Amino acid sequence: MRFTIYQESRVGKRRTNQDRVAYSYTRDALLMVLADGMGGHLYGEIAAQLAVQFIAQSFQQEARPKVTDPILFLSRVISNAHHAILDYAFDKQLSDVPRTTIVTCLIQDGVAHWAHAGDSRLYMIRRGKVVAQTRDHSRVQMMLDQGLLDAEAAAVHPSRNRIFSCLGGNHPPQIEFSRAVPLTNGDVLALCSDGVWGHLESHTLASFLENGKVMEGVPRLMNEAERLGGAQCDNLSLIAMSWHDDHPEADGPDSVSTRGMAADAFTTQMEGFGRSKRDQEDLSEDEIERAIREINAAIHKFK
């Protein structure tokens, strides 16, 4: 495989960053995953971290160098991440189970498969145009589908952040799966939280990434989303990957080639819990270490 990939997450104007992003790849497979946590002090952040870490670690264990069945893998790890969050809430005797959106994409054999629950999105951009995107599991999306709202009204609707499917919470998630999508040279896949897409039209988002230069396009796109978010700007997170044909002519200075990797090797980029910048959040080192232990224990139960 050959691709260029870049991820970034920012706190925006919120007290903490409850978004989590990660990617991991082997010689023959690439996983991207993004979660947007929801919950009170610390718990939304833990739900998102737990989901992303669980899915990434499952990929590391099973992709040797690729998974047997992409859709079965995505279905199982998302469902197990949901139950790990429930188990965490039970152990902590929480009155309100923490929740998180999830969107994840698995690429192997030059084919992309993705799945999501909630309103974190995946966009597929080909030759500068959005050719596929996930549909939000939200009340506003339902009203759009029923013709009760237009896009302009949806953008400012007071219920635009209310979703009906997520990991955690009181109901099993409604997980939506894509069809298998073969990739061609120059295709871009972008996964983002609503802090990024909430103030941008899809064609505007595509314009920042249309040339496939994700190392430059992602920061510029994040800057624009943060500017438009203004004083109420939400957490912003984005992973973008530009696919290259697997031959030397497609190489670029920032591209990754997995050709020389061992069959059991993997590379992962994931921010550790509590290690990112927390300007307004007063958490002691003991609180952070305890949260890390609790996350790892919850994940271990479902391995």
Question: pLDDT of 19-35, one tens digit each?
Answer: 999 999 999 999 999 99
Residue entry with tokens 């305890």:
290
Q: Which CATH number fits domain 2-301: 3.30.465.10, 3.40.50.720, 3.90.105.10, 3.60.40.10?
A: 3.60.40.10
Quote the percentage of the chain above a pLDDT of 90.
70
Confidence grade of residue 290 (pLDDT, cut at 50, 70, 90): confident
Quick one: pLDDT at residue 279? 43
Residue 128 predicted with pLDDT over 70:
yes
Q: Where are the domains of the chain?
A: 2-301
**Taking 50 as the threshold, does the pLDDT of residue 280 lie above it?**
no
Q: What is the mean pLDDT of residues 204-232?
A: 95
pLDDT given for residue 171 in this prediction: 86
pLDDT of residue 136: 92
**Average pLDDT in the 104-124 region?**
97
Q: What is the pLDDT of residues 39-73, one digit of tens each?
A: 766 789 999 999 999 999 999 999 999 999 999 99
Q: Please indicate whether residue 236 or residue 248 has the higher confidence score (pLDDT).
A: 236
- How many angstroms separate the CA atoms of 54 and 73, rounded? 12
Q: What is the 3-state secondary structure (H, E, C) of the chain?
A: CEEEEEEEEECCCCCCCCEEEEEEECCCEEEEEEEEEECCCCHHHHHHHHHHHHHHHHHHHHCCCCCCCHHHHHHHHHHHHHHHHHHHHHHHCCCCCCEECEEEEEEECCEEEEEEECCCEEEEEECCEEEEECCCCEHHHHHHHCCCCCHHHHHCCCCCCCECCCEECCCCCCCEECCCEECCCCCEEEEECHHHHCCCCHHHHHHHHCCCCHHHHHHHHHHHHHHHHHHHCCCEEEEEEEEECCCHHHCCCCCEECCCCCCCCCEEEECCCCCCCCCCCCCCHHHHHHHHHHHHHHHHHCC
Q: How confident is the model at residue 169 (pLDDT cuts 50, 70, 90)?
A: confident
Query: Above 50 in pLDDT, residue 243?
Result: yes
Average model confidence (pLDDT) across the chain: 89
**Dist CA 301 CA 32 (whole Å):** 23
Query: Which pLDDT score is estimated for 282?
Result: 58
pLDDT at residue 143 above 70?
Answer: no
Cα–Cα nearest to 178, from 112, 127, 121: 112
Q: How confident is the model at residue 217 (pLDDT cuts 50, 70, 90)?
A: very high
pTM reported for the whole predicted model: 0.92
Report the pLDDT averaged over residues 215-238.
96
Residue type, 51: A
Q: Which range has the worst mean pLDDT, 48-57, 93-102, 148-157, 190-199? A: 148-157
